[in-house]
């Protein structure tokens, strides 16, 4: 949930009991998924190829440009790859095959190695270039510390990230931020590193996460977009949408209600 910050110091290491050895191999494999990772580009391309035989001729004609857009060159692959390859989901089905060789001690070491604080790994849709500057684009510089306590966000990667409210008398208000401003780009120190994050293509969670971890002076690029903001609010009030985000979660393993002690059974590729 937004605003929740699970730091390594507060969480410590995960306790793993001997019941781990009694778990089915498929359940043991799923324990590797301790960090929230978007699907890698290889995974997206692979799934597109797998789905291709089931598409009709008409669909193939309509979607002819889809695979070309996903057929990335080496430079693009480098640009979209974050973190060590061992935790990418692009070949998760192959990586999970060797997990049975890990004994309990190795798994404990693995959990100690990885931080429980979720790393910032933008989705494929959030990695891109901020829209070109126009006459309506403005920017303001302010202190990023505790910025999330001074404003709230609304929207997401489908509708854009908007300022929903600003705390009266706060630094954000004094810097000129107002309800209905659409955030485009954030430049500054995020988790101790100088970064530029395009907020206009981030999900609401990613935008909140980024602003939450700012420190020191940051520069926010924004534009006044009251029309887009009012339409977003109205569509949410009318129940046409539930958020400004557009994404889905696809399962990458089978879950049995009997073997995995779950309330329902799910199959790989279920959305």
pLDDT digits (tens, 9 = 90+) for 189-213: 998 999 999 998 899 999 999 999 9
In a domain, 52, yes or no: yes
Residue 38, Cα to own-chain centre: how many angstroms? 6
Number of domains in the chain: 2
Helix (H, G, I), strand (E, B) or coil at 158: coil
User: How sure is the predictor about 4, in pLDDT bands with cuts at 50, 70 and 90?
Assistant: very low
Highest mean pLDDT among 108-117, 229-238, 259-268: 229-238
Range of the domain at 135: 124-237
Residue 203, Cα to own-chain centre: how many angstroms? 7
Q: Where are the beta strands (DSSP E) in 99-213?
A: 137-143, 151-156, 160-166, 181-190, 193-198
In a domain, 143, yes or no: yes
In a domain, 253, yes or no: no
Pair (49, 130) in one structural domain:
no
CATH code: domain of residue 180: 2.30.42.10
Pair (129, 187) in one structural domain:
yes
- Asked whether 92 and 43 are in contact (CB, 8 A), the reply is yes
Pair (76, 135) in one structural domain:
no
User: How sure is the predictor about 109, in pLDDT bands with cuts at 50, 70 and 90?
Assistant: low
- Asked whether 211 and 6 are in contact (CB, 8 A), the reply is no
Neighbours of 49 (CB within 10 A): 11
Alpha-carbon distance 30 to 252, whole Å?
Answer: 9
Residue that terminates a domain, selected from 80, 109, 144:
80
In a domain, 54, yes or no: yes
Higher pLDDT, 51 or 28: 51
Question: Averaged over 26-48, what is the pLDDT?
Answer: 54
In a domain, 66, yes or no: yes
Pair (45, 129) in one structural domain:
no
Pair (52, 151) in one structural domain:
no
In a domain, 222, yes or no: yes
Q: Which residue has the tokens 């498929």?
A: 26
Pair (204, 145) in one structural domain:
yes
């Amino acid at each position: 949930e937004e605003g929740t910050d699970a730091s390594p110091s507060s969480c410590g290491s995960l306790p793993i009991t001997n019941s781990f050895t009694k778990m089915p191999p498929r359940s043991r494999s799923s324990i590797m998924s301790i960090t929230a990772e978007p699907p890698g580009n290889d995974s997206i391309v692979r799934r597109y190829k797998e789905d291709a035989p089931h598409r009709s001729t008409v669909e193939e004609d309509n979607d002819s440009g889809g695979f070309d857009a996903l057929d990335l060159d080496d430079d693009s692959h480098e640009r979209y790859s974050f973190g060590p390859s061992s935790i990418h989901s692009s070949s998760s089905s192959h990586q999970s095959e060797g997990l049975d060789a890990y004994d309990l001690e190795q798994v404990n070491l693995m959990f100690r190695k990885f931080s429980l604080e979720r790393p910032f790994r933008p989705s494929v849709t959030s990695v891109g270039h901020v829209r070109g500057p126009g006459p309506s684009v403005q920017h303001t510089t302010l202190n990023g510390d505790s910025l999330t306590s001074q404003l709230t966000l609304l929207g997401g990667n489908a509708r854009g990230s908007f300022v929903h409210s600003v705390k009266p008398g706060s630094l954000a208000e004094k810097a000129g931020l107002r309800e209905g401003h659409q955030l485009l780009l954030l430049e500054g120190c995020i988790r101790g590193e100088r970064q530029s994050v395009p907020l206009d293509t981030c999900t609401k969670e990613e935008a909140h996460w980024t602003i939450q971890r700012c420190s020191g002076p940051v520069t926010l690029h924004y534009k006044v977009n009251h029309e887009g903001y009012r339409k977003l609010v109205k569509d949410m009030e009318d129940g046409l949408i539930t958020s400004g985000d557009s994404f889905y979660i696809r399962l990458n393993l089978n879950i049995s209600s009997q073997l995995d002690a779950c309330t329902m059974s799910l199959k790989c590729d279920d959305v």
